Amino acid sequence: MPRIGLDLPNLVHAATELADTQGLEAVTLATLALKLNIRSPSLYNHVKGLPDLRRQLALSGLIQMSEQFKYALTGKSGDDAVRAFSYAYLTFARAHPGLYEAVQRAPEPDDKLLQKAGGEVVQMAVDALKGYGLEGDEAIHAVRGIRSLLHGFVSLERQGGFGISLNLDVTFEMLVHTYLEGLKAIRRKIEG
């Protein structure tokens, strides 16, 4: 019996385009309604409001990240796996700056769906560092570490935080390589 008009996926898709081309700040109910040729109150038939729209963007971003990281990791192990994960991370953040930003600003601790989607992305990082000889707490610290440097680089690059003169891909390559060499060096020290 229902009438079919817009659906949530289309709406999120349009919002994603806005976010990725003009920044997350540009995603308002007003601009989204304009893009979709409807009046902004009509959007409330699909989302609860602006915060809910932002949440949907974050969720969509996390799901896409999971898919792409899983694809990048298949068949890889050791250094190759970490490198593949790192480049997939960088590639996603560059291709979807608005979506990436939406993912960062979704810290609702009691949102189970969001927590689960985020957990799956983190699990990819854990998988990438598997077979590095890290156990227990050490593995958790190492995963936090790789996440920190990836997010930090991507975030500084996006906001133009680095000077322009020197190739950024080389910096990224060196950063990941240095961290991995550090992990290996520390393991050598411990194992004697």
Partner DNA sequence: ATTATAAAACTAATGGTATTAGTTTTAATC
Partner DNA sequence: GATTAAAACTAATACCATTAGTTTTATAAT
Residues in touch with its own copies (CB under 8 A): 104-105, 107, 109, 137, 140-142, 144-145, 147-153, 155-156, 159-163, 166, 170-171, 174-175, 177-186
What is the CA angle 112-117-76, rounded to 5?
A: 150
Burial zone of 177 (CB within 10 Å; 0-12 exposed, 13-18 middle, 19+ buried): middle
Both tokens of residue 60?
């969509």
Taking CB within 5 to 8 Å according to partner kind, which of DNA, its own copies, none is near residue 159? Answer: its own copies
3-state secondary structure of 133: coil
Q: Stretches 31-39, 71-79, 99-107, 181-189: which one binds DNA (CB under 7 A)?
A: 31-39
Are the C-beta atoms of 8 and 56 separated by less than 8 Å?
Answer: yes
What is the rounded CA–CA span in Å between residue 144 and residue 126? 9
Q: Which does 181 bind (CB under 5 to 8 A by kind): its own copies, DNA, none?
A: its own copies
Contact status: 46 vs DNA (CB under 7 A): yes
Task: Find the shortest distance in angstroms from Cβ 2 to DNA.
Answer: 3
Q: Alpha-carbon distance 24 to 100, whole Å?
A: 9
- The dihedral region occupied by 76, where left means phi > 0, alpha psi between -120 and 50, and beta the remainder, is beta
| Cα–Cα distances in angstroms (integers) from residue 67 to residues 60, 62, 72, in the given order | 11, 9, 9
Find the part of the chain contacting DNA (CB under 7 A) among 42-50, 89-97, 141-149, 181-189: 42-50
Candidate residues 14, 28, 70, 79; the one interacting with DNA per rule CB under 7 A: 28
By CB under 7 A, residue 131 contacts DNA:
no
Per rule CB under 7 A, is residue 14 in the interface with DNA?
Answer: no
Please say which residue, 26 or 174, places its beta carbon nearer to DNA. Answer: 26
Does the footprint of DNA cover residue 51 (CB under 7 A)?
yes
User: Which of its own copies, DNA, none does residue 186 bind to, with CB < 5 to 8 Å depending on kind?
Assistant: its own copies
- Least distance CB 161 / its own copies (angstroms): 7
